[in-house]
Amino acid sequence: MRPVTETSIPSADQSLDEETPVTAATETEDAVGEAREKKAPADSDLFRQSEIAADYVEGLLDILDYDGDIDELVSGGRPVVEVVGGRLQNLVGQRGATLEALQELTRLAVFRQTGTPSRLLLDVGGYRAARRKELAAVAKNAVEKVKEHGEPVRLEPMSAFERKCVHDVVNAMSGVESESEGVEPNRRIVVRPVAD
C-alpha cells in the first residue's frame, strides 16, 4: 500500500470551517513542495519502479531462456534497468525497435503494479550508451553543416530516445536550434541556424 501524503483537503478530524494560519513562508514552502511532488517522485519510488521492472524483465529472460545480469538503479531522475550478457542482440532488434517495444511492455508492468506512469529507461547489452555516442556524432555533424552552409539539415526518422539524444547535443551548442517534425514512425529532427 502506498503512503498517503497530506494535502490541503481537511481530514475527517478537521472542520471545513477551521482556518489554518498561513504565512508567506508556508505558502512558498507548500508551493515548492507541491511542485517537487508533481515534477519528480522520490528516489525510493523510482527505485521501487526499477525493481518491479527488473522482476518483469527477469521473467521475460526466463521465458526466452536467455542469460543476463540485471541491474536496477535511478539515474537522472528516472528508473533504469540494464541487462548485460551474451546473446542479447535479439532483445535489441534492428535499430533498437525490439528494445523500444520491451521498454513499453516493462513500463506497462510498472504501471500495473503502481498505478503511476513510469519514465523507465530499459537498456540491453549497452545498446543505448553506444547509440548515444553515435547520435552525438550525427548531431555534431549536422551542426557543422548548418554552420557552414546556413541551411537547415533534416535528419533521418528516429525514435523518441534517439531524438532526445540529438536535441540534447544540439541545445548545448550555440548558433543552432533543433525541433522535431512529422508523425511517428517518421518523426525526425531538423537542425537550423538560430534566427538573429
Burial 146-168 (b: 16+ CB within 10 A, else e): beeeeebbebebbbebbbebbbe
Surface-to-core class of residue 70, CB atoms within 10 Å of its CB (0-12 exposed, 13-18 middle, 19+ buried): middle
Report the pLDDT value the prediction gives residue 39, as an integer from 0 to 100.
Answer: 52
Report the pLDDT value the prediction gives residue 86, as an integer from 0 to 100.
Answer: 84
Report the pLDDT value the prediction gives residue 13, as an integer from 0 to 100.
Answer: 34
Question: How do beta strands 153-154 and 78-84 pair?
Answer: unpaired
Task: Determine if the pTM surpasses 0.75.
Answer: no
All structural domains of the chain, each given as residue ranges with its CATH number in brackets, are 43-125 (3.30.300.20), 129-193 (3.30.1370.50)
pLDDT-derived band at 72 (thresholds 50, 70, 90) equals very high
Residue 136 predicted with pLDDT over 60: yes
Give pLDDT tens digits for 167-193: 999 999 999 999 999 998 899 999 999
Full 3-state SS string of 149-169:
HCCCEECCCCCHHHHHHHHHH
Residue 34 predicted with pLDDT over 60: no
Which grid cell sits at 31? Answer: 508551493
CA dist 77 and 75 (Å) reads 5
